[in-house]
Amino acid sequence: MYIGLMKDSWELKDLVSVGPATLKDFDDLGITLMEQLIDKDARELFENLQLIKEQKLDPNSVDLYRFRLSATGVG
């Protein structure tokens, strides 16, 4: 489900609950376009981000990724 229905072009920053930290995470993951989220798995994104950051992240964060992907209507 997209945030609104009238917009022709969507950007990651348009997603619900996506702020600067999440945009940085997406950038670290090499995701810069909404279309890149198609068929992405929240757990896989989370695990890849842990590898990139070389640290364990809060496991509850995977739920935030699930929510963000569901908000795109593509994941």
**Residues 25-38: tens digit of each pLDDT:** 999 999 999 889 88
pLDDT at 11: 87
* pTM of structure: 0.77
Asked if the model's pLDDT at residue 9 lies above 80, the reply is no
- Helices (H) then strands (E): counts for the chain: 3, 0
Which residue would you say has higher pLDDT here, 8 or 73? 73
Which segment, 3-7, 16-20, 42-46, 66-70, is predicted with the most confidence on average?
Answer: 42-46
Q: Rounded to an integer, what distance in angstroms lies between the CA atom of residue 75 and that of residue 68?
A: 9
pLDDT at 67: 80
pLDDT at 54: 96
Closest CA to 26 of 8, 75, 9, 2: 75
